[in-house]
Chains A and B, each alone.
Chain A
Amino acid sequence: MRYQIVLTGVGGQGTIFLVKLLAQCALNKGIDFIGTETHGMAQKGGTVISYLKIGNFRAPLVGEGQADLLLGLYPTETLRFLSYLKPNGYIVTNIEDAFPKIEGFKLFTVNASELAVKGEINPKSLNVFILGYALKVVEGFPFSKEELEKAIVELNPKFADANIDALNKGYSVASRL
């Protein structure tokens, strides 16, 4: 298997947690994993971009035009890093208001920020909610829901219930499409 994901958001949203989660899934399945992350100088609110490469890769960064999936936790940051996607690749992103129509990709948007403000999802699990959403809509996603749930428990047992709940919420909201 070879699968490349670019994950973006702003500091404090938990993009790094998702990287660790997917890396844990790869480890459990005995698949190689390499990636890297860039965060701005400030801890909260700065641009965060992570690169995850699942399978037999050597270099930490994803080349432009190569990613299978762009997972966005913050709308402006999703648009900022569009160029990493390969033609017809998947975009799954959190949005706030209107999101521009983008040609040439498979675009899936969900207003998770609104759900968080309304109290329908825990803002701290917005990251895992988006992942659950992607799991449902992205064909060929490298891991199953059960594999992700197992990794969630292994990584942070304390918040596992909340995170598994968010994963399933994301998955079921997407199922309603």
Chain B
Amino acid sequence: MKKTLLGNEAIAWGLLYAGVDFMAAYPGTPSSEILETYQKLIKQMNLPAYAEWSTNEKVAYEVAYAAAITGKRAACGMKMVGLNVASDAMMSSAYIGNRGGFLIISADDPGFYSSQTEQDSRYFAKFARIPALDPSSPQDAFRLAVVGVNLSEKFEIPVLLRPVLRVCHGRQIVEIPDFEFKAKKGSFERDIERWAAVPRNPRLKQGYELLRKLREISEFNYEEFLKPQIEKLKGEELLIVASGTPYAYVLEVLEDTGLKADVLKVDMPTPLPVDRLKEVISSYSTVVVFEETYPLIEEQIKHLGNVKGKLTGDVFEIDEATHERVAESLQKLGYLKKNVYVGKKYDKELPPRAPSLCPGCPHRTVFYAMKRVFGNKAIYPSDIGCYTLGLNQKAVDTVLCMGASVGLACGFSKSDTEKPIVATVGDSTFLHAGIPPLIDAVANKHRFILVIMDNSTVAMTGLQPTPERIGNVSIPKIVEGCGVKPLILNYDGTIKSTLEFFRKVKETYEKANGPVVAVVNEFCTFDKERVKLPGKFAKVDQDKCTGCGHCIREFGCPAFRWNEEGKVEVDPYFCVGCGVCLSDLCPFDAFVEDKR
């Protein structure tokens, strides 16, 4: 059958096609729709399969890996920074291997569209000594997901599938052959030598075994993927070696410009049968490598011939692949006379549209009140989630990685004792990686305030459920278990009570000699089950507005804008009727209700 699918949906279909009956994931853009789709499909088709959102990526990895140990076919999903978290389990599991096929899906984000790094997950595969597959389109992602599961089972080794944003969020008509879904019964078979191998000898033995597997997989890579293509090369002057989406851009650039070149697609950038490639690489006068994001293939083949790429400065080293960038390299190398990918830009300046919290979002009120109580002098460590956008209100000073608001607050409390410290973290991020540093804070008496902004959902990645919602996990009880009794605010949509709450938090902090934790129960405006918007729309009384800018600077609702008279007005198109600005925001009480 043919379907229009996102790359992530195509991967979920690929998993089912390959008989994967167990999947665990932690959400993260651009990977989240994989598990969402997998979950939806097994429900719709009533398939005997299991799917879960795990607490973090390491947990997702371990939960799914256990299923693969019992002989089930399993997969885990995450974004690339999630693989950092899961890497501890990944490194070790590479040695131990699996019985049922085990696919690790790590989605990369070249171009930093919604990530703090541009890291290349394929390097993690090389580091762990497992194979990586690099799809170039949604259709290709379907194919390689299936290949990956089968390869993993055949060699009893975890396999990494690395789709990039443009594959995950690419949309294409995808062909899915008919299939019958067969689940496997899991059965743990005791094998202490294998599953509980300890240093030195049992692990060393597994290390030798891993190297042997890698040599065999490298040969498989040549026979299955590379040789059939090499046999068809036409012997043009230029050879382009490409993997992932750059392969697709290369094909279109050649088509659009009429440039003649041979193209070799690399499906599996590691392990690469380097010796087998020597003959073909050295037979071309020039070989150009296009890949995302780091030069993994290029590093392995650069000594085989006249190889140009990122390392030689001929190909872009950062940011995502585009037609423009591919053509630019080919032009620099003298293969194209001009870059055809130029358009006419609008020549005047446009107002920037910076990311900001949604209209009506409770985070904005919390940041506003927090900032009014603790002022400019305080240090505001924050974390990964929608609330990172509190930086627009200058209520976020640091963003490092999941859970780091708490860890950094611990360190700041001992290294800058002059300033108050107010850290913010979301509920999912706190449960993901914020608990160990809170325990550290209690144990080592780190004095700071931690505000847990609890909307009971993973809002930024598309409202995936959190443990509180699906399992009655209680954040206040966890905090209490760590050794602090939290202060709790049930957000009521007013600045007044939010301010009162933070004044109380401040009093507690002044007397404290360890961490103070505040839990604010909020909602996400997209959360149909819990959203509470009173439908009080706002407008600005133009006679009262002095144009002081307090509301735009300190609160910054996207519905506020400057008009030509230098005063503020509310854009009715963006106002959602939260009513927050109607009291205690404007020093001149200029916001009034717009009765619609």
Spell out A's residues near B (CB within 8 Å): 10, 19-20, 23-24, 26-27, 32-38, 40-47, 57-61, 63-66, 76-77, 79-80, 82-87, 100, 102, 104, 113, 116-117, 123
Enumerate B167-206 residues with CB–CB distance to A below 8 Å.
167, 169-173
CB distance from A44 to the nearest CB of B (A): 4
- The complex places the Cα of A32 from the Cα of B101 at a distance, in Å, of 32
- The complex places the Cα of A57 from the Cα of B4 at a distance, in Å, of 15
- The complex places the Cα of A65 from the Cα of B3 at a distance, in Å, of 30
CB distance from B53 to the nearest CB of A (A): 19
Known: A44-B358, A64-B341, A65-B342. A59 touches B248 (CB 8 A): yes
Known: A27-B173, A64-B341. A76 touches B351 (CB 8 A): yes
List the B side residues contacting A102 at CB < 8 Å. Answer: 346
Contact of B305 with A by CB under 8 A: no
List the A side residues contacting B525 at CB < 8 Å. Answer: 44
Can you list, as one digit per residue, whether each of B374-391 has a CB less than 8 Å from chain A (1) or not (0)? 000000000000101100
List the A side residues contacting B356 at CB < 8 Å. Answer: 42, 45-46
Q: Which of B2, B167, B327, B356 has the most CB of A within 10 A?
A: B356
Contact of B323 with A by CB under 8 A: yes
Can you give 28 contacting A-B residue pairs, CB < 8 Å? A23-B4, A23-B171, A27-B3, A27-B4, A36-B169, A37-B169, A37-B171, A41-B114, A42-B355, A42-B356, A42-B358, A42-B386, A43-B459, A44-B574, A45-B358, A57-B252, A59-B251, A60-B166, A60-B171, A63-B341, A64-B322, A64-B323, A64-B343, A65-B342, A66-B323, A86-B343, A100-B348, A117-B572
Are the C-beta atoms of A83 and B389 separated by less than 8 Å? no
Known: A42-B386, A59-B245, A63-B322. A84 touches B343 (CB 8 A): yes
List the B side residues contacting A64 at CB < 8 Å. Answer: 322-324, 341-343
Are the C-beta atoms of B353 and A10 separated by less than 8 Å? yes
Spell out B's residues near A (CB within 8 Å): 2-4, 113-114, 136-138, 165-167, 169-173, 245, 248-249, 251-252, 256, 322-324, 327, 340-346, 348, 350-351, 353, 355-359, 386, 388-389, 459-460, 525-526, 558, 572-574
Are the C-beta atoms of B358 and A40 separated by less than 8 Å? no
**The 5 residue pairs across chains A and B that have the minimum distance between CB atoms:** A83-B343, A63-B323, A59-B248, A65-B343, A60-B170
- The complex places the Cα of A104 from the Cα of B344 at a distance, in Å, of 9
Are the C-beta atoms of B344 and A83 separated by less than 8 Å? yes
Are the C-beta atoms of B322 and A79 separated by less than 8 Å? no
List the A side residues contacting B169 at CB < 8 Å. Answer: 36-38
- The complex places the Cα of A117 from the Cα of B571 at a distance, in Å, of 11
List the B side residues contacting A42 at CB < 8 Å. Answer: 355-358, 386, 389, 558
